[in-house]
C-alpha cells in the first residue's frame, strides 16, 4: 500500500529529472543540421576553410581554452551585398531606385529630359550602367528625399514583395546564400551577436533583415542619410528623409560605423570586395583571436564570376582586386571560394528554379 501511495511522487521526481537532463543536453549538444546530423554547416564542402570557421567558434566559446571570449564580446559583422545575397548584375537597392523614377518623373515632368532620369526611362540597363557615378548619385537624393520613414518603409516592403530577380525569377529576399545562412545560425547558437555592416542604405536594409536573416534592424549598420522631425496633418510625429549624408558606411566608413553604432571591435568580419578591406583590417588587428573572411565569386555556372583577382572578369560591382587577394593571403584572412567551398549556393527551391 505504501508503495502505491508513493508511486505518483516518484514519477513526478523521475519526470523532473528527465526534463532537467534533456534541457542540459539541448544546451550542450551542437547545432543540428536540417538532415539531423551534427554538422553545423551542411552546405559547405569539407574544406580547410570550413574547418577553420568551426575551430574558431570552438576556440572562442570553450571556457577551458585560453582563447575563450565572453559572450558579450562575441561580435560578428557581415557585409550584405555579395556576402549574404546576390549583388549582380546590379544592387537590389539601385533597382528599387530605378523603379521609382517613372513615378517621380510623372510628378515632375521637367526631369524627363534631364540625366540620369532621361536614360533610366529608356529601360536600357547597359546604357544606365555606363552613366557617370556623378549622375547616378543623384538618384537617391532625388527619388527618396521628402518621404517620411514610415512611407519609405511601407514602399520598400511592397517593392520587395513584388519585385523579382530577372535571372532566378524569385524575390530578392530569396536569393540569400544558404551557406551564409548556416554561418549566421551557427554563430548565434554559440552566443555570437550578428550584425550587418553594409554600404547600402541603412533604412532600406533594415526593412527586411529580420525576416531574411534573423537580424533585427537595430543590428544593421549602413549608409545613413539625415532626417527631420515633424508632424503630419493629423498631428502624428514623423521623420522625413533629407538629402544629407551622415555616414558613408563603405571602405573606412565601415569601422567608423562599427565604433559609432556597436562600440566593440568584431571578433569575426565577413566581406567580399574592396569596400570591406578596412573593416577586415580593423577586425584582424584587434587583440586576441580574430577571424577575417572574404567571399570570392568564382562560380559562373551557379552564380556569377568576377574579380579581377585570380584572373576573373573585372567588375564595378563587388570588385575583388588581386591586391586585396594578396593582402588576404599575407595577413591570414580566409578567402572562401564559392565554387570550391560551397556544396550549394541557394535554398533548394531557388536553385531548382521553382
Structural domains of the chain in order of their starting residue, each with its CATH number: 48-88+167-351 (3.40.50.1000), 92-149 (no CATH)
- 144 vs 182: which has the higher pLDDT: 182
pLDDT digit string, tens, across residues 62-80: 999 999 999 999 999 999 9
Nearest-5° Cα angle at 43, 352 to 199? 85
39 prior amide bond cis, ω within 30: no
Give the model's confidence band at 209: pLDDT under 50 very low, under 70 low, under 90 confident, else very high: very high
- At residue 26, the pLDDT reads 35
What one-character DSSP code corresponds to residue 273?
A: S
Q: Are 188 and 40 in contact (CB under 8 A)?
A: no
CA Rg value for the chain:
24
Residue indicated by cell numbers 543536453: 25
Mean pLDDT computed over every residue of the chain = 89
What one-character DSSP code corresponds to residue 68?
A: -
CB atoms < 10 A from the CB of 263, how many? 8
- At residue 353, the pLDDT reads 62
- At residue 53, the pLDDT reads 98
184: exposed, middle or buried (Cβ count in 10 Å: 0-12, 13-18, 19+):
buried
What one-character DSSP code corresponds to residue 174?
A: G
- Cα-flanking dihedrals φ and ψ of residue 320, to 5°? -125, 95
Nearest-5° Cα angle at 207, 280 to 100? 105
Q: Are 125 and 90 in contact (CB under 8 A)?
A: yes
pLDDT digit string, tens, across residues 280-297: 999 999 999 999 999 999
The whole-angstrom separation of Cα 34 and Cα 347 is 12
- At residue 354, the pLDDT reads 59
| pLDDT, average across residues 12-31 | 38
Amino acid at each position: 500500500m505504501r508503495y502505491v501511495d508513493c508511486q505518483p511522487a516518484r514519477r513526478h521526481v523521475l519526470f523532473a529529472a528527465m526534463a532537467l537532463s534533456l534541457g542540459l543536453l539541448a544546451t550542450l549538444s551542437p547545432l543540428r543540421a536540417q538532415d539531423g546530423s551534427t554538422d553545423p554547416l551542411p552546405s559547405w564542402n569539407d574544406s580547410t576553410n570550413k574547418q577553420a570557421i568551426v575551430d574558431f567558434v570552438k576556440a572562442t566559446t570553450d571556457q577551458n581554452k585560453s582563447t575563450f571570449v565572453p559572450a558579450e564580446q562575441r561580435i560578428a559583422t557581415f557585409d550584405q551585398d555579395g556576402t549574404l545575397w546576390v549583388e549582380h548584375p546590379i544592387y537590389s537597392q539601385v533597382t528599387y531606385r530605378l523603379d521609382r523614377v517613372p513615378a517621380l518623373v510623372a510628378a515632375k515632368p521637367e526631369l524627363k529630359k534631364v540625366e540620369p532620369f532621361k536614360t533610366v526611362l529608356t529601360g536600357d540597363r547597359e546604357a544606365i550602367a555606363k552613366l557617370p557615378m556623378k549622375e547616378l548619385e543623384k538618384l537617391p537624393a532625388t527619388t527618396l528625399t521628402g518621404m517620411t520613414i514610415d512611407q519609405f518603409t511601407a514602399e520598400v516592403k511592397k517593392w520587395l514583395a513584388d519585385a523579382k530577380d530577372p535571372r532566378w525569377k524569385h524575390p530578392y529576399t530569396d536569393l540569400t546564400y544558404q551557406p551564409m545562412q548556416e554561418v549566421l545560425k551557427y554563430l548565434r547558437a554559440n552566443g555570437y551577436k550578428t550584425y550587418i555592416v553594409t554600404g547600402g542604405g541603412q533604412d532600406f536594409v533594415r526593412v527586411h533583415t529580420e525576416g531574411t536573416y534573423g537580424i533585427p534592424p537595430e543590428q544593421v549598420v549602413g549608409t545613413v542619410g539625415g532626417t527631420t522631425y515633424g508632424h503630419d496633418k493629423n498631428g502624428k510625429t514623423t521623420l522625413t528623409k533629407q538629402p544629407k549624408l551622415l555616414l558613408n558606411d563603405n571602405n573606412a566608413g565601415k569601422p567608423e560605423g562599427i565604433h559609432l553604432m556597436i562600440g566593440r571591435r568584431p571578433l569575426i568580419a565577413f566581406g567580399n570586395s574592396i569596400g570591406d578591406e578596412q573593416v577586415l583590417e580593423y577586425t584582424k588587428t584587434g587583440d586576441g583571436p580574430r577571424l577575417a573572411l572574404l567571399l570570392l565569386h568564382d562560380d559562373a555556372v551557379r552564380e556569377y564570376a568576377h574579380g579581377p583577382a585570380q584572373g576573373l572578369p573585372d567588375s564595378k560591382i563587388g570588385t575583388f582586386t588581386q591586391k586585396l587577394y594578396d593582402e588576404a593571403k599575407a595577413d591570414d584572412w580566409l578567402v572562401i571560394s564559392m565554387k570550391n567551398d560551397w556544396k550549394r549556393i541557394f535554398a533548394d527551391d531557388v536553385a531548382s528554379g521553382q
